[in-house]
């Protein structure tokens, strides 16, 4: 599997090594200027990334650490419609427990869509406008779903699809069922998600893919022509994408 001219592919030994390098890239993005907001993701792939990032930030000299935290601004990709930020299954709670609280960040600096908004479609438009007012994403962190989604952009998804309220596929609900007692039917059917339009507008993109289960979809992303059938394949049209993949995700073994 060879990367396209626009795509840098880095193979790591295991998920821990991929997480460490992803965390290093995120910290560099928050330490350099001029700064644009980070785009952040959730999910099991991201748990070791945030653990590594917290460790790296705490290891910084005090002045540098304070500067990173003082200037922090990030926008998450998505959250489930109808889940309160206090619900441990929400992505707001995920970010609070893995980033906001360990770093002592001001919670307003880690932004997510309002999952309890009475009009999710209007909230999606508001969230996209808020991101635009802050200059758009500098470095966007992404994971890759088994069906090729990035964010909650389920297939089929056009490259210009905007931030919106989306219906989650049965595959995605199965993939995310662990947080809901293993029951896919308990996973919310809708989410607010940044679209491919906002993702592809990021200055740089960092895609982290680990584990043997992701090998088939990663192979498709690296080899197939971009199409709505595989939303992640639109990343091949972006001028600055880095894929961090462990050996299992690249070889299927």
- Which residues are marked as active site? 78, 147, 149, 154
Query: C-alpha dihedral over 53, 31, 110, 54, to 10 degrees?
Result: 20
Estimate to the nearest angstrom the gap between the alpha carbon of 242 and the chain centroid.
13
Rounded Cα distance between 159 and 232, Å, is: 9
Rounded Cα distance between 218 and 240, Å, is: 18
Parallel, antiparallel, or unpaired for β 110-111 and 139-142?
unpaired
Please report which residue ranges of the chain form alpha helices under DSSP H: 15-31, 47-58, 62-70, 91-95, 101-103, 120-133, 170-175, 196-200, 215-223, 247-251
The answer to whether 194 and 39 are in contact (CB under 8 A) is: yes
Q: Return the structure tokens found at 165.
A: 């309220």
């Amino acid at each position: 599997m060879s990367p396209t001219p626009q795509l840098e592919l880095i193979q790591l030994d295991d998920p821990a090594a991929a997480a460490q390098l992803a965390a290093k890239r995120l910290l560099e993005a928050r330490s350099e200027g001029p700064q644009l907001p980070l785009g952040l993701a959730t999910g099991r792939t991201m748990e070791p990334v945030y653990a590594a990032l917290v460790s790296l930030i705490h290891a910084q000299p005090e002045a540098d650490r304070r500067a990173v935290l003082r200037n922090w601004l990030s926008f998450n990709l998505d959250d489930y419609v109808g889940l309160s930020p206090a619900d441990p299954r929400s992505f707001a709670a995920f970010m609070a427990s893995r980033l906001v609280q360990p770093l002592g960040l001001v919670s307003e600096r880690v932004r997510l869509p309002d999952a309890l908004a009475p009009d999710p479609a209007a909230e999606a438009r508001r969230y996209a406008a808020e991101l635009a007012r802050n200059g758009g994403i500098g470095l966007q962190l992404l994971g890759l779903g088994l069906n090729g989604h990035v964010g909650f952009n389920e297939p089929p998804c056009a490259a210009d699809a905007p931030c919106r309220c989306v219906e989650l596929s049965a595959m995605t609900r199965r993939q995310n069922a662990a947080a809901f007692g293993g029951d896919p039917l308990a996973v919310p059917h809708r989410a607010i998600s940044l679209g491919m339009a906002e993702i592809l507008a990021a200055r740089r993109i960092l895609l982290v893919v680990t584990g043997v289960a992701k090998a088939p979809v990663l192979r498709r992303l690296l080899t197939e022509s971009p199409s709505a059938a595989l939303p992640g394949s639109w990343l091949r049209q972006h001028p600055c994408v880095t894929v961090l993949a462990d050996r299992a995700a690249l070889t299927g073994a």
